Structure 1
Amino acid sequence: MDQSGEIVLVGCGNMGFALLEGWVARFGIAADRIHVVEPVEALRRRAVAAGAAAYADASELPQALQPRAFIVAVKPQVIGSMLATYRRFSATAAFVSIAAGVPIATFEATLGAVPIVRDMPNMPASIGMGVIAAFANAHTGNVQMAYVSDLLAAVGNVHWLPEEELINAATAISGSGPAYLFHFIECLTEAGIAVGLPVETAHALAKQTVDGASTLASASVFSPTELRQQVTSPNGTTAAALEVLMAEPSLAALLREAAAAAHQRALELAVVG
């Protein structure tokens, strides 16, 4: 990774701190190159404990600071009131937003024609295993995109989208997707209990089965369809279960309906934002 330049991180909540930890622990970025603006004292203290310089307010940032990247990791509702404060960094920095639902146009209205990247990380980013959907505006060059990719890769895999509107579609799959999997584990646990397993055993089997299967799906050269076929013996136990899951209303149909509902809600929230 190109480690030149300094970074400003505004907001050191769960996602901001995950990025900070990833930069320092996984990529070896010198913590003193990272400047964190965080008004909450407890969150500011943990940023300092990680080695970063931390400030309660933007006015405390060094006047000579010329960051290469400016990461916005705050609640969407405060974006409008805080952007103008940081306009002075637009000459050198690529602005990167992880504020859900806030379009790039909101940033451009205050910052002007500067490099801006909007991305949507999901919950597993907190353990460095996230999926990050990203879109860059027309003012972001290839070198800047590569640098931002490296920064975001500290918490997971980055996928660049050709259109900003697809952020909402990605939200319905990777953004909300972990909750679908968590619910599946809940349901699989309940099914285990229903066939006689002790509660703790059913929970452990459900979690570890999903963990192992997802890891195998990621590592295998076979597609999920091929893997499903490999584990399904004709007239066997898995085939009997899949007959139920694939009957109407099938699991596939329910997931399509669920993703469509999430997508629609993402569009509504984006309009409101």
Structure 2
Amino acid sequence: MIDLIIHTDAPAEGILPLPNTTYSSSDAWFTALADMHKAQFAFQRRDLVEDADDARDKYVARQLFRQVAAEGRYSPSDKDDSDQPRFALYSEDLRPANILLDKDDNIIGVIDWEFAYAAPLSFSSCPPWWLLMEEPESWSPGGLAGWQETYEPRLQLFLSALEGVEKDQTSHSSVGEPLSRRMRTSWTTKCWMRNYAARRSWAFDFMWWKHLDEAFFGPNEDQDHKPRLTRLSEAQRNAMEALVQEKLKEDQDTEITVWTGKEAVSHLAKYLL
């Protein structure tokens, strides 16, 4: 259901437009992505929060994500020997259902490129979630731990097959570290979790509080926002409380909201602190 319309016929100065620049590092890329997470939270109206504390959890998680990204602590190194950042074409929807084969099982094409974009190279090193055909945040029983336990044998089989292909490619060493090795590293270091959370807004909060927050900020017994409030400025805490009340009110509002560019910029500026 559409409940938000933004008219951008008038020039909007400042922070509303989507990023349209290049990035000197994956840290800068993740920082921009964190701002987009915050913008989505500010503008989505219904079906976003369960109650006031859930709204606070979501607000604080996005602020902390941006903090660690801006500090250069979120991403692994994505630089080559020349110390230049490495980005690659990445497709969110690259999976068997979108790969075309001929009658001899040769790949002849790949479809559904609308979710492709330039992303840090570490995205391409993440093991494919579709080996289990069920997304981590949707798995039951056992949550993510259960998903990982069921997924790992399939991953090892997939990597063994990939290693066999790599051994047959005599020139693979000329293009850097083999993909199978990079995927193993991503899995064992849990880098894939950071990338998965960052690129999937609907899984972000689940990943952040259950599996990422303590890695950056230490113990958090209840896995929620309360012990992290001291990491926010007074202005951010005040903005959070105003936004919490706004989200609770919006969840009951059935009207479509129409924004002009300038109004949207003004609204967003209140929360991108």
Per residue, is there more strand in 1 or in 2? 1
Q: With structure 1 as the length reference, what TM-score do the two structures score?
A: 0.30
Higher relative contact order (CA 8 A, sep 6+): 2
Larger of the two Rg values belongs to structure: 1
